[in-house]
Chain A
Amino acid sequence: MYKIITKREIAPNIISLEVAAPLIAKRVKPGQFIILLVDERGERIPVTIADYNRENGRIRIIFQVVGKTTAQLSQMNEGDELFALVGPLGNPSEIDNYGTVVTVGGGTGIASVYPITRELKEAGNRVISIIGAKTRDLIIMEDEIRKASTELLVTTDDGSYARKGFVTEILDEVLQKEKDVKKVWAIGPAPMMKAASEVTKPHGIETIVSLNAIMVDGTGMCGSCRVTVNGETKFVCVDGPEFNGHLVDWPEFMNRLARYEKMEKHSFEAYRKVCGEENG
């Protein structure tokens, strides 16, 4: 079950896995996610589905090594099996023919925005995509996104590739120029999604963000992922993961993302130490 079919390191510390999950591949739609467990003692972590193939029954996930679980996952090889994989979870993106739309992906958020971009274009939209990362090496899926969108703009924080600057700066420029943008999707780290929402707000353009909250079951049972949206408590797993970025209580959301920071750090350091010893 849940066998890893292909594994590629597509950027330093960013891994792409294709996993056999026919039931998920059959039903998944852009915007949805899975929860996986590396082993019996592992943590359940949510990962957005970056791509899927209904014919061969595979889904693709892309993740950056940021802690113990992702580090362990990065050590797994083709042919290995995940301990658990469940999905597709959450609600799909609302794909429609809106006219002109902008999709923005920051860091590994590029992987999340990719299937949405592709589907939006297939639905007849004119899709302007903006992708960005800290530096040249960390820009992922450029060719795929280029193919999936009408127009692609690339940026790096340090200017080592394409335009120098943040995706939000480019987004601002696009909105100044394009007077008829109907909807924006912005997916990436929380500060980026918050900043993108601030950029679009004066233009009055609906902006969809996909929240990467801390979850346990991912099916509405625990409430770990709750977030205040427009003054109401919502569960990211069953009410989201996509919400209107203008209505999200960002300070609260970012506080809650840091709930286990110390423990996560401790866990990752202990793991690296053990692994270092084993490898050395």
Chain B
Amino acid sequence: MAEMIPTPERMKRSQRPMPEQDPKKRVCNFDEVPLGYTTEDAIYEAQRCLQCKPAPCVEGCPAEIHIPQFILKIVEEGFASAYLEILKTNSLPTMCGRVCPQEEQCQRACVYNKMGKPISIGRLERFVSDWARKHDTKEKLPDSKKKSKLVAVVGSGPAGLTCAADLAKMGYDVTIFEALHKTGGVLTYGIPEFRLPKKIVGYEVDKIKDLGVKIVTDFVVGLTKGVDELAGEFDAIFLANGAGAPQFMHIPGENLNDVYSANEFLTRSNLMKAYKFPEFDTPIKAGKKVVVIGGGNVAMDAARTALRLGAKDVHVVYRRTKEEAPARAEEIAHAEEEGIVFDFLTLPVRILGDEKGNVTGMECIKMRLGEPDESGRRRPLPIEGSNFVMQVDMVICAIGTAANPIVARSATSVQTNKRGYFIVDEKTRATSREGIFAGGDITRGSATVISAIGDGKKAARAIDRYLSSGGSLRKSKK
């Protein structure tokens, strides 16, 4: 068994990097890029932890993971118990270990961060959860009494899965309604295989089913049944249907044939497995010269997918600079390593095409940064006369999503804001209608998996309080 090492020695160590697939090889496959820590890597990294009390890292984690405790168990080589420690608060550890922006959450709060070498909490979480998956480590659930109250969860993404899992552990009878034919929401249709393998998503979903959660697929709340109807059948409802609707730039040429929203491009590739066409039936175009518009993680995912589909040349255009780009630094670095070219301070003004609808180019204008805007970021301003044409044959628009109104339309007295997102109490995720709660992207616009998980946890607690104190949607008069 490994042991804690003296503090001065801990401080001397630097962060243990995680092995990754070689960039030249990985652009030819859809396999996962980071390969994960070895046991030795994990212990080495875990030994660096100072076991702070109180632990600032936990404050930075929306999933409230008992971080120092699970890290200590890694040092002690108790990997199964490290996993169970994580599971106490987080039902989706294999995902968080992969796609959370830890550098903005737990690792930013880490005391080592000032020295620029925070504990690699995400990599350790990933190591532990992968170890548990390989060893089929199962959680022993306390025999919480089955409760008779029924809860409906709308959407099987990270917020919905978390809320459902937490409520099921408390003994509630939970049903998730999913519009697509597969579960996982953005984890399934949005995040590519090379960042989050779908068999892992399947594994986590299966575990949640093992808790007794029922999942109904092919059920569009708002069309198959409305929220108001569900309110007559369930005691509480959690709305976590995602933001969903892709935004476009409203520039000429945007409906040419080979202009995709990132949502369409990624859904075809990830959900429908179009990258395996014709083995799978859904087609996808593989442009030769592809340009992706946007600076977020979705833009990186789309660009890197295009490369793997066989594009020779992939550019990302973003109207601000690298500093303002919302994508994780790690994702931008991965994209750069793979040969993706970034054109910062560049704004598309129109897409050019021929009469058959083929894309032949994209006209852009150069930008410069002016004074800060409401978001605090310096406002990009066009440089007059700097227009130029990029020769491209495919354009992917990854400039964000908006609220899809289908669910909200079917929910009487659940208030939304001007942009169509549900208005909620920050702490309880309660909406304006008693018994109905909401979380994830449909309450704040495109955000992170971890913030959705945090919402799911808060909602589960609030739903428990509501139901324990006698509340019931189906029995209440509207």
A-side residues, CB < 8 A to B, are 23-24, 27, 37, 41-44, 68-69, 83-89, 216-217, 219-224, 226-228, 233, 238, 249, 251-252, 255-256, 258-260, 263-264, 266-267, 270
Q: How far is the CA of A41 from the CA of B279 in the complex (A)?
A: 7
A40 CB to closest chain B CB (Å) equals 9
Q: Is A87's CB under 8 angstroms from B257's CB?
A: no
Check: B465 CB closer than 8 A to any chain A CB: no
User: Counting CB contacts under 8 A, is B379 at the interface?
Assistant: no
B156 shortest CB reach to chain A, Å: 14
Q: What is the CA–CA distance of A267 and B282 in the complex, to the nearest angstrom? A: 10
Whole-angstrom distance from the CB of B332 to the nearest CB of chain A?
25
Interface presence of B264 (CB below 8 A)? yes
Q: A23-B225, A42-B281, A256-B257 are in contact. List 18 more A-B contacts (CB 8 A).
A: A27-B224, A43-B281, A43-B283, A44-B272, A44-B282, A69-B281, A84-B181, A86-B220, A88-B224, A216-B267, A220-B404, A221-B267, A223-B264, A224-B264, A256-B255, A258-B357, A263-B277, A270-B278
Number of interface residues of B (CB under 8 A): 43
**A87 neighbours in B (Cβ, 8 Å):** 220, 223-224
A68 and B281 within 8 A (CB): yes
**With A220-B244, A223-B261, A226-B255 as contacts: A86 and B283 at CB distance below 8 Å:** no
Within 8 A of A (CB), among B266-298: 267-268, 271-273, 277-283, 285
Does B204 touch A at the CB level, under 8 Å? no
B: which residues have CB within 8 A of A? 179-181, 189, 217-220, 223-225, 244-246, 248, 250, 254-258, 260-261, 263-264, 267-268, 271-273, 277-283, 285, 355-357, 404, 406
Residue of B189, B218, B280, B404 near A84 (CB, 8 A) is B218
CB distance from B121 to the nearest CB of A (A): 32
How many angstroms from the CA of A260 to the CA of B355 in the assembled complex? 16
Q: Within the assembled complex, what's the spacing in Å between the Cα atoms of A24 and B218? A: 11
Contacts A221-B267, A256-B255, A259-B257; A88 near B223 (Cβ below 8 A) = yes
Residue of A at shortest CB range from B276?
A: A41
Q: In the complex, what distance in Å separates the CA atom of A42 from the CA atom of B272?
A: 8
Q: A24 — which chain B residues lie within 8 A by C-beta?
A: 224
The 8 Å CB contact of A263, one of B244, B260, B263, B283, is: B283
Interface of A is mostly: mixed
Q: Report the bound CA distance from A89 to B223 in whole Å.
A: 7
A184 to chain B minimum Cβ distance, whole angstroms, is: 26
Within the assembled complex, what's the spacing in Å between the Cα atoms of A217 and B242? 14
The answer on a CB contact under 8 Å between A217 and B180 is yes
In the complex, which of the residues A89, A220, A260 contacts B245, with contact meaning CB atoms closer than 8 Å?
A220
Which residues of B are found within 8 Å of A217, using beta-carbon distances? 179-180, 189, 267
Q: Which residue of A lies closest to B243 (CB)?
A: A221
**A233 touches which of B254, B277, B357 (Cβ 8 Å):** B254
Given contacts A216-B264, A223-B246, A266-B278, contact A43 B217 (CB under 8 A): no
In the complex, chain A residues whose CB is within 8 Å of the CB of B248: 223, 233
> Cα distance A31–B256 when bound, in Å?
27
| Closest partner residue, chain A, to B278 (CB atom) | A267
**Can you report 18 residue pairs joining A to B where beta carbons are below 8 Å apart?**
A69-B281, A86-B219, A216-B264, A217-B179, A219-B404, A220-B244, A220-B245, A221-B189, A222-B263, A223-B248, A223-B260, A223-B263, A227-B255, A252-B255, A256-B255, A256-B357, A260-B283, A263-B278
Interchain residue pairs A-B with the least CB separation, the first 8: A255-B357, A84-B181, A222-B264, A263-B283, A43-B281, A86-B218, A223-B261, A260-B283
A264 to chain B: closest residue by CB: B283
- Give the interface centre of B223, B254, B261 by most chain A CB atoms within 10 Å: B223
Q: Once the chains are docked, how many angstroms separate the CA of A227 from the CA of B255? A: 7
CA distance A264 to B217 in the complex (A): 27
| A252 cross-chain contacts in B, Cβ below 8 A | 255, 357
B219 proximity list for chain A (CB < 8 A): 23, 86
Given contacts A220-B244, A220-B245, A220-B406, contact A86 B179 (CB under 8 A): yes
